[in-house]
Amino acid sequence: MPSPTPLPSPPKPTSDAPHTARAALIAAAVLVAGGLAVWLALPAPSLPVLGEVPPFTLVERSGRAVSAADLAGHVWVADFVFTHCPTFCPLLTERMAGLQKALAPAADPVRLVSFSVDPVHDTPEVLLDYARRAGAGDGWLFVTGPREALAALPALNACLNATSAVLLATGFLAIRRRRVRVHRACMVAAFVTSIVFLASYLTYHLQVGTTRFPGQGWARPVYFAILGTHTVLAALIPPLAIVTLTYAVRARFTRHVRLARWTFPTWLYVSVTGVVIYVMLYHLYPAGVPAP
């Protein structure tokens, strides 16, 4: 008896899944490449101008004159010290020495400038010895000059306050958008900026004294109301900021957030009112110009 003829096996169904996946990957790669090309073609956003350094001409430890024009067009970092300061000045100088080591040599290196706020004591010879003990190289300038040159410091202090305010606002917006790294960087930078401001502010007023507000009329109570609240709250910022940052470093975020709700608005108010006080004291109502 003949064996039955086996039935032909049905054809295997073909699938278009590999072709579809490949096409999707190619399309995604084209979109990513196109987006990257557009992003690279966009002009880089310019940094905001927070203030301008007023003209100055001072004497460097080598004896040569250094002016604001010599530093124009270059990136430079400044601090304000005096050589017989026993407290925060050695810390600032140590930080600058760290920057000198960390910043790699380049065609246009970052300049470091240490301004002396005690020109009577800190002669070029004294600064030369101080710079030698700090291990300063040629790219780190130590400048001094007549007391009149200290008039430029209030403008620098206002710039530091404005910088702190911008960093605080940027850090707040960053954490609202869950950009933790940006938030952390902005808050640490704001803290460092405020430390530099405090050092500059104290050394300036130790040397120059108190600048009296000459305005009269309605401007006077407004100015002193701002100054009073600014002064009281400014005294709270160091402990508040230190404790708030400490909570963040130790990952105690519940306590960090709870305290930051008080630290942030207080710190921002102090930074903004610092600029307002500067504008009222040195521009709107400078000495010898009475208020209307």
Annotated domain spans of the chain: 57-145, 159-284
Q: What would the pLDDT profile of 183-197 be if each residue is shown by its tens digit?
A: 999 999 999 998 888
DSSP string, the chain: -PPPPPPPPPPPPP--HHHHHHHHHHHHHHHHHHHHHHHHHSPPPPPP----PPP-EEEETTS-EEEHHHHTTS-EEEEEE-TT--SHHHHHHHHHHHHHHHSPP-SSPPEEEEEES-TTT--HHHHHHHHHHHT--TTEEEEE--GGGGGGHHHHHHHHHHHHHHHHHHHHHHHHTT-HHHHHHHHHHHHHHHHHHHHHHHHHHHHH-PPPP---TTHHHHHHHHHHHHHHHHHHHHHHHHHHHHHHHTT-HHHHHHHHHHHHHHHHHHHHHHHHHHHIIIIIS-TT----
Average confidence (pLDDT) over 264-274? 94
Q: Across residues 117-142, what is the average pLDDT?
A: 87
What value does the mean pLDDT take over residues 8-19? 55
pTM: 0.53
Of 259 and 23, more confident:
259
What mean pLDDT comes out for the span 59-75?
Answer: 86
Q: What number is the average pLDDT over the span 81-98?
A: 84
In this structure, the dihedral spanned by the alpha carbons of residues 287, 285, 199 and 232, taken in order and rounded to 10 degrees, is: 120
* Residue range 129-136: mean pLDDT, rounded: 91
pLDDT of residue 242: 93
Right CATH for 57-145 from 1.10.10.60, 3.40.50.12780, 3.40.30.10, 3.90.25.10: 3.40.30.10
pLDDT at 76 > cutoff 80: yes
> In degrees to the nearest 10, what's the CA dihedral of 264, 267, 269, 271?
-130
pLDDT at 197: 86
Q: What is the mean pLDDT of residues 120-146?
A: 87
Arithmetic mean of pLDDT, 221-237? 92
Question: Both tokens of residue 1?
Answer: 């008896």
Side chain identity at residue 14, one-letter code: T
Rounded average pLDDT over 157-163 = 89
Inter-residue contact 226 to 273 (CB < 8 Å):
yes
State residue 292's pLDDT score. 38
Nearest to 93 by CA among 70, 113, 109: 113
pLDDT computed for residue 291 by the predictor: 38
Q: Is the pLDDT of residue 288 over 50?
A: no
pLDDT score for 167: 93
